[in-house]
Amino acid sequence: MALLNFRKREKFTPANAQLEAFLEGYSIEVMPRTAEKVENFRDLLPEGTRVYIAHIEGTPIEDMVATAARLARDGYPVMPHFPARIIRDRATLADWIARYQGEAGVDQALLLAGGVTQPHGEFHSSMQLLESGEFDRAGFKRLHVAGHPEGNRDIDPDGSMKNVEDALRWKQKFSETTDAKMALATQFAFEAKPIIKWADSLRDAGITLPIHIGIAGPAKLQTLIKFAIACGVGPSLKVLQKRAMDVTKLLLPYEPTEVLTELAAHKAANPDFNIEHVHFFPLGGIKTNAEWAIANGGGAATPANAS
């Protein structure tokens, strides 16, 4: 019955065909504790939707693997985070990979430094995880790395993009040496024009990794501002701050319609635009985000060979 219910919602006709096309193959992020609150993912997500599992410091690997196994059983490609700074050593990395593969059939991963100031062991960057060779040896088919449309103060304290861009050039070269498909999964932002400018600048610099643009899902404005500040979202935070000053909008939930509609229109006018998929951060809840995506045409599964 749950699957039938989803198919009924899937028949809704979205108002914007460009947005529908842009949302095709979107992905979404969960954590073990948020996934526990979802009774049945098949009520909410199209079959084949790629689901990232965020690994927050202190989360036992057993909880991560159990969440991955549950999602895999329900038919979803699972992409767990591998935060370098909380992985103590190469043996731990190999053990995590073996657990994910043995219990959930995982063959894709998001590699990132992780939001920890002091590394727990020998790794401090996603580049070191790539250099370890463990993912290639395990036959991973897809490896995503982080992108930062508005920079990252942890990496470039001076506010520039120098170190971030150097790292992306290194990852671009690495992508040419691995059999795994690589892409950038980015931090979320709220304003389309700077995202477009950033994406174009990467291509101009010879960085051709496909971009999966991070977008905050529908949520209370106060919730989004809190997460945006905590995650170091930069200039586009002013979009939320401006909205917060408008008393007619202050109590209304934020929806990503405006930023996605503008990005979708740009993609329609420029088919070779290097943003290829949308990745949702469901800051207002998985159910809320999934229902917004369905209502706006996001009912298509991620193709098995999607970029």
Residues 188, 14, 294: CA angle, nearest 5 degrees:
55
The closest alpha carbon to 149, from 232, 93, 85, 208, belongs to: 232
Q: How far is CA 66 from CA 70, 151, 202, in A?
A: 6, 33, 37
**Dist CA 173 CA 232 (whole Å):** 27
* Mean pLDDT, range 35-64, rounded to an integer: 96
Mean pLDDT of the chain: 86
Packing angle between helix 286-295 and helix 2-10, nearest 10 degrees?
40
Q: What is the pLDDT of residue 292?
A: 95
CA dihedral (62, 64, 70, 73) positive or negative:
negative
Packing angle between helix 221-230 and helix 237-244, nearest 10 degrees?
150
Q: What is the pLDDT of residue 158?
A: 58
Q: What is the pLDDT of residue 219?
A: 87
The closest alpha carbon to 216, from 282, 151, 147, belongs to: 282
Q: In the predicted model, is pLDDT for residue 159 greater than 50? A: yes
* Mean pLDDT, range 141-147, rounded to an integer: 96
Q: 220: which 2 tokens?
A: 């209370």
Spell out the domain ranges in the chain.
Answer: 2-9+17-295
| pLDDT tens digits for range 93-130 | 999 999 999 999 999 999 999 878 888 999 999 999 99
What fold is seen in the domain 2-9+17-295? Answer: TIM Barrel (3.20.20)
Q: What percent of the chain has pLDDT over 90?
A: 69
Q: In the predicted model, is pLDDT for residue 4 greater than 70? A: no
